[in-house]
Structure 1
Amino acid sequence: MYIVYEVRTQEHKTVAHPEVACPLCQQQGGVHIAIRQRYIWWFGPMCPTSKFGIAWCEHCDQKIPKVKWSKALEQAYRDDKSSVKTPLRLWRGMLVIGGLLATLSVVGMVRTKMRAADAGIQTEYFANPQVGDIYYAHTGGEMKVEGNSASSINEVYALFKVVKVDGDSVFVVQGNGSRVSTAGKVINEYVSGFWDSIEKETTAYGTTPIIISHQSMTQYQFFTPLPREKDATPGRIAQIKRPGK
């Protein structure tokens, strides 16, 4: 992560000191002192540093190095510096940053509460299925074993609508919009818009009911068609929507 900012200089005032002789050309009447201050600009001015002075002479047209300053020049600089206060506007950016952090904090808390509320709703839907509930799920698939590794293929991703609840059995019918995950084309259901596209394609549901175990739903969020076929892997319910809610 990169943060781009600028270091700027604020010139507070420039004072002529005709009473001070230039340490370089030894003449009086040409010495000036500028009081300046650096600050960071990022969403506004912030973090001003301590003030500093620059001295130069009009007679010899040179900047006077700090190591060459006389005691009279040092005293003039201290007097000029003591009369300058850091303006509050140089801290304005900190107010902006503080506001942004406060806003992000509030947004984070709201999102956390919304996620907690959504999780609570989903838990309720899992525990108490009702006719008309829509499951965003995949059916699991066939176990494919290669050497020491195993994977699931031929999983069907679709919407399933509850048409009947009888004890531990939940009867669902499959929507006509679907995706099939194969060994050559593995599906990632977490891609943004994946379920939305299936939802838009689903305009009707089949008539052949699929029976799933309510116990497996509540315990594991599994979508397990009954009776289970040999070498079948369990599916998973990603989300439940209850029409009208």
Structure 2
Amino acid sequence: MFIIYQIRSLEHTRKHYPGLACPLANGGGNGVTIVVLQRYVWWLGPMMPSMKYGVAFCDNGDKIPVAKWTPEITAKYKELKATTKTPLRLWRGMIVIPAIFLVLVLVAQIAKRTKANDDKEFTEYVNHPQAGDIFYANTGGTLVRSENSATTTNDVYALFKVIKIDGDSIFLAQGNASRVGTAEKPINEYKSGFWDDLKKETTGFSAIPVIISFQRLIQYRFFSVLPPQTDNSPGRISKIVRPDK
């Protein structure tokens, strides 16, 4: 994992001292400007400010190396530095970043708990289906076999309403709207709004029942049509909704 950060400098204060002699100027002429700065780390916000430091310039713009500072320049710098405080905003990242991570952890925990509750509810509905339940299902399509391969075609996604349960048979009525995908034009059922759009288009259910295996539903959570057909592959139940819940 790589963390990219920046080292930045904040200029706290700048003061001109016309009476100070510049050690770089011939004859000691010109004044001196002293700047107090402070480095800090920037990563999603300012953090970890370091010790303050100073830079001095002659009036002609030349930077004075620290090694050539006169005692007078050093004294003025220390006076200026003593009156300069580190602003609280340079510590903002130390508060904001942990807060961001805390929020991410809480969101992840809530999502995990929500998924666990959804899985528990789904398992309950799978094990104890009731008349009126709505299955959001893929019928599995038809297997087309060739000499060396088998391809699923005509994948159908539709809503199915439970009519009754009789032994190992669950009688379903298919919604009048469906999505059909082929190997050349597959359908992504996880696309946002896929099932919602399909639900809006379903204004009723077919009068001809579809029968699936209760045993296969419990064991594999598959939409397995009865009687079994060698050319049909089992589909997947994506979601079960119980209208009175």
Query: Quick check: TM above 0.5?
Result: yes
How much has 1:136 moved relative to structure 2? 0.6
Change (3 A) 1:228 1:61: closer
Stretches (4+) displaced over 6 A = 1-6
Distance 2:183 2:73 in 1: 83
SS in 1 for 2:122: helix
Unpaired segments ≥5 residues, structure 1:
none
Counterpart in the other structure of 1:31: 32
Which residue of the partner structure matches residue 54 of structure 2?
53
Q: Which amino acid aligns with 2:127?
A: A
Q: Check whether the contact 1:177–1:202 (CA below 8 A) recurs between aligned residues.
A: yes
Structure 1 pair 89–139 and aligned structure 2 pair: CA distance change class (3 A): closer
In the alignment of these two chains, the number of paired residues is 243
In the alignment, the residues of structure 1 paired with residue 134 and residue 149 of structure 2 have an alpha-carbon distance, to the nearest angstrom, of: 34
- Assess if the C-alpha contact under 8 Å between 1:39 and 1:45 holds in 2: yes
Q: For 2:85 and 2:5, how far apart are their aligned partners in 1? A: 28
Query: Percent identity over the alignment?
Result: 48
**Cα distance, 1:222–1:75 mapped onto 2, change above 3 Å:** same
The answer to whether the Cα contact below 8 Å between 1:12 and 1:37 also exists between their aligned partners in 2 is no
TM-score, structure 1 as length reference: 0.84
Q: Which amino acid aligns with 2:34?
A: I
Give the direction of change, closer, same or farther, for the CA distance of 1:229–1:6 in structure 2 (3 Å limit): same
Give the equivalent residue in structure 2 for 1:154: 154
SS of residue paired to 1:96: helix
- Matched residue type, 2:170: V
Q: CA deviation at 1:211?
A: 1.5
What amino acid does structure 2 have at the position aligned with 1:55? A
Unaligned runs of 5+ in 2: none
Name the CA shift for 1:136/1:6 in 2 (closer, same or farther; >3 Å).
Answer: farther
Q: Normalising by structure 2, what TM-score?
A: 0.84
The amino acid across from 1:222 in the alignment is F
State the distance in 1 between where 2:44 and 2:187 align. Answer: 43
Higher alpha-carbon deviation: 193-202 or 81-90: 81-90
2:184 is aligned with 1:175 = no
Residue 205 of structure 1 corresponds to: 205
Alpha-carbon distance, 1:72 to partner: 5.4
Corresponding residue for residue 188 of structure 2: 188
Contact 2:14 2:33 in 1 (8 A): no
**2:216 equivalent in structure 1:** 216
